[in-house]
Amino acid sequence: MPPRFILIGSTGFIGKSISRNFKRKLIKYNSKNLNLLKRSDIQKHAKKFQSSTIIYAAGLKRTRGDNFKNFKTNLNLFNNLFQFFLKNTPKKIVFLSSAEVYGYYKGKKKISEKTKINPMTNYSMAKVLQENIIKFFASKLGFKYLILRIPGVYGSDPENQSIICKMVAAKNKKKFFQLNTSGSELRDYVYVDDLGKIISSLSIKNLNNNIINISSGKSFKIKDIICYIEKSLKKKIY
């Protein structure tokens, strides 16, 4: 039997890109056909998890609110799913984590997988806990894992939730972009379709029990990104 690949979170910003770029047959789940908050709903699909590779791209984004309610929801979604792995153990979990687990890094060296994590938000703390849950159950149940720490992402997003999308949307809506920080913090951004290709490629490779940072390798200050977008659009947005 050929390997089975399952994508959970197929209608999200990154999930859609994975769906477009995945080169093998892919079983797609989203909030419309799989409610992770209902264990009875998960039960209906649990047998498909057996010996499959599960790409987990689900969960509430930080842009939807960095509060305890969303923190708890993200953990509940995850924990409900994992309960069904006891009898329907997957072959591998590919988990989309976040570069935010490193917190407000002030070191001189570039961040690497060996950099100490320092979560500073509810969202990033949930990601750290999810990573630990994966590693714990992988050791107990014998499945493999690949944790991908994702940077900022930009691209066409109907919900305009990424910071770059919000900057462009400010121009289209004839409004000014609101920046709640000094703008001096450094950010690394990857185009969403490039990210989808990278995740799709890594998911089918024999990379087991690894944590990998995905990045462009170049960081820019938020205020410099604003200046670049203003020059490109020939309009003040901030």
| pLDDT per residue as tens, the chain (238 positions) | 678 999 999 999 999 999 999 999 999 999 999 999 999 999 999 999 999 999 999 999 887 888 999 999 999 999 999 999 999 999 999 999 999 999 987 777 888 999 999 999 999 999 999 999 999 999 999 999 999 999 988 887 666 566 777 776 766 666 667 776 677 777 788 999 999 999 999 999 999 999 999 998 888 888 888 888 888 877 777 6
User: Distance (Å, rounded) from C-alpha 150 to C-alpha 163?
Assistant: 15
Spatial CB neighbours of 88, under 8 Å, sequence gap ≥ 6? 46, 47, 48, 49, 50
pTM: 0.89
Separation between Cα atoms, residue 206 and residue 204, nearest integer Å: 7
